[in-house]
Amino acid sequence: MLSSENTGVPARTVERLVLYRRLLNGLTEQGVEFIHSHEIAEKANNSAAQVRRDLMAIGYTGNPARGYAVNDLVRSINGLFEQKRDQKAALVGIGKLGRAILGYFALRQARPRIVAAFDSDPAKGQGEFAGCPCYPVDALTSVIARDGITVGILTVPADFAQPVTDLMLVAGVRGILNFAPTPLKTPAWAVVDNVDIATKLEKVAFFC
């Protein structure tokens, strides 16, 4: 589950690189051409050493006196995701959470693009939402296969998380972002990441 067999870049590092890129965006327009590891660290709430390690992982190399060339660094991080650039995602479960997510990603045109949404409720599984076409779950297999969708976002009730997962994997999905509070049984090649909001909240409460 979520190993780094893929590229050698550790999962934690990938997350931070995405963050760095976000923090650097727009900096050039503000006239900032170069940035030091400790300045990135300051923005990202981590250490300069960690930033340097992370950049090392993608082979990006700075300059001891100037630091990192912002534009170039952003390009370099983008390069990491180049191969996966045109990956498509589907969201299953157009409920309260699903709609919030659909709206968010449609607005930002973030990647991977969500190009289909599914729901078992006939009222929701038609038309479109936030510009994203909606289908009944029965169409899941065929639409995922047809559109070459490789990433799934799971926002169905817990009881349906496993069966929907099974469907998606058969249809061609290889990675799933799971919001249902249920550990999914998947083959080893599948990439799964869980976002368990209730647990996270309880954890925060526990530590304060």
Partner DNA sequence: GTCTGATTGTGAAATGATTCACAATGTGAA
Partner DNA sequence: TTCACATTGTGAATCATTTCACAATCAGAC
Contact set with a second copy (CB under 8 A): 1-4, 6-7, 11, 14-15, 18-19, 22-23, 43-45, 80-81, 84, 87, 89, 95-97, 99-101, 103-105, 108, 110-112, 150-151, 153, 174-177, 181, 183-185, 190-193, 195-208
Work out the end-to-end distance of the chain between its first and last CA atoms, rounded to an integer number of angstroms: 30
Q: Name the phi and psi angles at 129, rounded to 5.
A: -135, 125
Q: Are strands 113-119 and 151-154 parallel, antiparallel or unpaired?
A: unpaired
Preceding omega of 112 cis (within 30 degrees of 0): yes
Minimum distance from residue 117 beta carbon to a second copy (Å): 14
The residues in 65-104 that bind DNA, with binding defined as CB under 7 A, are 65-68
Minimum distance from residue 72 beta carbon to ligand NAD (Å): 27
Which residue stretch of 6-14, 24-32, 66-74, 113-121 sits at the interface with ligand NAD (rule: CB under 6 A)?
A: 113-121
Is residue 45 a contact residue for DNA (CB under 7 A)? Answer: no
Q: How many CA atoms lie within 13 A of 38 on its CB side?
A: 2
Pick between residue 53 and residue 99 the one whose CB is nearest to ligand NAD. Answer: 99
Report the alpha-carbon distance of residue 193 to residue 176 in Å, rounded: 6
Which 8-state DSSP code applies to residue 141?
H
Q: Which does 126 bind (CB under 5 to 8 A by kind): a second copy, ligand NAD, DNA, none?
A: none
Is residue 191 a contact residue for DNA (CB under 7 A)? Answer: no
Q: Name the phi and psi angles at 68, rounded to 5.
A: -105, 135
